[in-house]
Amino acid sequence: MRQRKKILVVPLNWGLGHATRCIPVIRELLAQGAGVFLASDGRALDLLKQEFPGLPAFELPAYDIHYRSPNMVWNIATQTHNILRAIYLEKKAVGKLVAQHGIEGIISDNRFGCRSDKVPSVFIAHQINLLVPFAPLQAVARRINHYLIKAFDECWVPDEEGEPNLSGKLSHGLGKTGFPVRYIGCLSRMKVFETAKKYDAIAVLSGPEPQRTAFEKAVLAQAQKLPWRFLLVQGKTEAKERFFIGENIEVVSFLPSKELNEAILASRFYIGRSGYSTIMDLVKMGKPALLVPTPGQTEQAYLAERLGGKGLFVTQRQNRLDLEGVIGNVSETPIQNGFFGNVGMKEAVEAFLRR
């Protein structure tokens, strides 16, 4: 009997999106007989432990980025030293895991240090062309990003290669990159099934602090003045609370994938960030939604504008939130899409396990 190949999966802890989109990859690895090891930090690691309690899981050094400014590029630029240090430390930590546990392959979702010269390493990213608000820095940011990705054997893009696609110029029209790019199709942990409607709207309040809390306060302030039934999912993996605010607002700290899947389908409308993983989940379920970009995140602003312009979603800025105007006029017609009909991810995993 052939020995199971040991694969380490390591998502970035930046909101929960990187971890959630690794869930279908992990499921496919397990389905193809791989032995899967998990590593991350913070809420991303908590989520993976809850989703896969039987898999070995390890804590990596945190990037520990503080959000002192609403401008995300400024936050990153002023904390480059912390990021580079985290990349160095996580590379050392991954090297130890490879040696101690006989890891034979690494799949890293946006963790630049999680690779090894001793085993095949794949980088998952939907943003190969970084968007920055200051145009003169665009080319520089792109070159740096490509340089870091080039250290991996291959880059997997969770999107369609041709039209229609979700990520647009973030991962298309790349030109010469210097590394192999494989489009593996959209990734979603969600399933589609019929269920009775229980809520008028579900608000999923994920993302990095302090903007996660600011978004929660903004949604709650308006929801308390409206007659509809709301479910607020705080995205706090470390807590286990469930309570009501008034008679119409139910609040839960966190929901595992299966319960969140059911709650979204049991809601007429979705409210949340325009993160790429969220968008893939919503498109998979055909769920009408209001997308609110995290202030300062150029990528989320671009995705909201692009997909809002195509009529897939309604979009608003956080400081111009108007739940009444949106929910009161919501169409319950499911989004029509053709983004989940391929087998790109299955084929990518098969090829990776053959290395």
Which domains are present in the chain? Answer: 6-188+341-354 (3.40.50.2000), 199-327 (3.40.50.2000)
Question: What 3 state SS string does 54-82 have?
Answer: CCCEEECCCCCCCCCCCCHHHHHHCCHHH
Nearest-angstrom CA–CA distance, 10 and 98: 13
pTM of the model: 0.91
Judge whether residue 336 has pLDDT over 60: no
pLDDT at 72: 60
Confidence (pLDDT) at 56: 98
pLDDT above 60 for 2? no
Indicate if the pLDDT at residue 154 is higher than 80.
yes
Distance of alpha carbon 240 from the chain centroid: 22
> From residue 60, how far is each of 2, 31, 111 by CA, in Å?
30, 26, 10
Predicted confidence at residue 1, as pLDDT, reads 38
Average pLDDT in the chain: 91
pLDDT in tens, 211-252: 899 999 999 999 999 999 999 999 998 888 999 999 999 999
In one-letter notation, the amino acid at residue 227 is: P
Q: Are strands 267-272 and 289-291 parallel, antiparallel or unpaired?
A: parallel
Please give the structure tokens belonging to residue 82: 């912390």
Of the candidates 300, 285, 291, the one whose C-alpha atom is nearest the C-alpha of residue 332 is: 285
H-helix or E-strand spanning residue 239: none
Q: What integer is the mean pLDDT of 291-311?
A: 93
CB 65 within 8 A of CB 72: no
Phi–psi pair at 42, nearest 5 degrees: 60, -145
Check whether 19 has a pLDDT greater than 70: yes
Q: Please give the Cα distance from 184 to 202 (Å, whole number).
A: 29
Q: How many residues does the chain have?
A: 355
Give CA separation, 267 vs 51, 166, 249, in Å. 23, 23, 13
Q: Residue 53, preceding bond cis, omega within 30 degrees? A: no
3-class secondary-structure state, position 105: strand
Task: Give residue for tokens 């008028």.
Answer: 200
Residues 271, 305, 294: CA angle, nearest 5 degrees: 50
